[in-house]
Amino acid sequence: MRFKEKVVIVTGGAQGIGMAITRSFAREGAKVVIADIDQEAGKENELYMRENGGECIYVQVDVASEESVKNMVQEAVSHYGGVNILINNAGIGGNKSIYERSMEEWDRILGINLRGPFMCTKYCAPYIKKNGGGAVINIASTRALMSEPNTEPYSASKGGILALTHSLAVSLGPDKIRVNAISPGWIDVTGWKKQSKREQVQLTERDHLQHPVGRVGNPEDIAAACLFLCSEEAGFITGTNLVIDGGMTIKMIYEE
């Protein structure tokens, strides 16, 4: 019950990593706002959490839209009376060659993945400050640090998140708001979707064993780190980036 009575907003909280984060905070006594664009998925997660004793509401939001973000924060505040913690988790990808990539796609990915976390923080920070401080976590990616081909807008947005994180950490430090990033590696979210889209893939031994820790990650690996970074035990940690990837980014690879 580390987060009893704390109000936690999780963007993209309906599915995948966000689903594990919402449920983990609820198990620790938090009042959770599932802020997601997908209403079917959001309502489903809300129902599941309530049936399992969690305190939560689903609020529909498009994190790329300023109006929508303002409304979401307003709804969270009028329902729960404030905000203590914000998890900027909503994000989209999409691999495509630079020769075919449209600028509309670039703008949409950057809008959700980078503009979104800035706006959500901008509109939540006054309430977190009013409550005497709290924490913000920005979910980045190991793709902020390394790349496969054809991932330019996603990689750029995640690189931007790391800079946004240290910038916000310095600006909001005086208001007792700690801001940290988490960079997940390969996290298998196929079993963490709304029912109509849930299709647990069968991972191979090769998938698992290429990781120094011997397995692919799961959403609860990331949720556990969110709980730690938002807890008082992490009171001296701000502006950092925690890489959670089973060791893939420290593994040196030369082709024989």
Packing angle, helices 152-172 and 116-130, rounded to 10: 20
CA–CA distance, 150 with 16 (Å, rounded to integer): 23
Give the total of residues touching ligand NAD (CB under 6 A). 26
Q: 54, 91, 134, 160: which one contacts ligand NAD (CB under 6 A)?
A: 91
The stretch among 83-91, 170-178, 200-208, 246-254 that binds ligand NAD (CB under 6 A) is: 83-91
Instruction: Reduce the DSSP state of residue 131 to 3 states and report it.
Output: coil
Q: How far is the CB of 66 from ligand NAD (least distance, A)?
A: 12
Q: 28, 40, 55, 62: which one contacts ligand NAD (CB under 6 A)?
A: 62
- By CB under 6 A, tell whether 164 contacts ligand NAD: no
Instruction: Reduce the DSSP state of residue 33 to 3 states and report it.
Output: strand
Interacting residues with ligand NAD between 40 and 59 (CB under 6 A): 41
CA–CA distance, 13 with 44 (Å, rounded to integer): 11
Longest dimension (CA), the chain: 60
Q: Which residues carry out catalysis? A: 154
- By CB under 6 A, tell whether 17 contacts ligand NAD: yes
Question: Regarding beta strands 134-139 and 241-244, do their DSSP bridges make them parallel or antiparallel, or are they unpaired?
Answer: unpaired
CA–CA distance, 105 with 163 (Å, rounded to integer): 22
Cβ distance to ligand NAD smaller for residue 84 or 142 = 142
Element (H, E) at 192: none
Q: 186, 208, 210, 240: which one contacts ligand NAD (CB under 6 A)?
A: 186
Question: Regarding beta strands 7-11 and 134-139, do their DSSP bridges make them parallel or antiparallel, or are they unpaired?
Answer: unpaired
Cβ distance to ligand NAD smaller for residue 91 or 134 = 91
Percentages (nearest 5) of helix, strand, coil residues in the chain:
45, 15, 35
Q: How far is the CB of 113 from ligand NAD (least distance, A)?
A: 6
Q: 3, 6, 7, 15: which one contacts ligand NAD (CB under 6 A)?
A: 15
Backbone φ, ψ for residue 231 (5° rounding):
-85, 170
CA–CA distance, 137 with 57 (Å, rounded to integer): 20
- By CB under 6 A, tell whether 165 contacts ligand NAD: no
- By CB under 6 A, tell whether 38 contacts ligand NAD: yes
- By CB under 6 A, tell whether 64 contacts ligand NAD: yes
Helices (H), 28-80: 39-51, 66-80
Cβ distance to ligand NAD smaller for residue 43 or 176 = 43
Query: Mask of contacts with ligand NAD, 127-156, x by CB under 6 A?
Result: ------------x-x---------------
Q: 7, 8, 14, 137: which one contacts ligand NAD (CB under 6 A)?
A: 14
Residues that bind ligand NAD (CB under 6 A): 11-12, 14-18, 36-38, 41, 61-64, 89-92, 112, 139, 141, 184, 186-187, 189
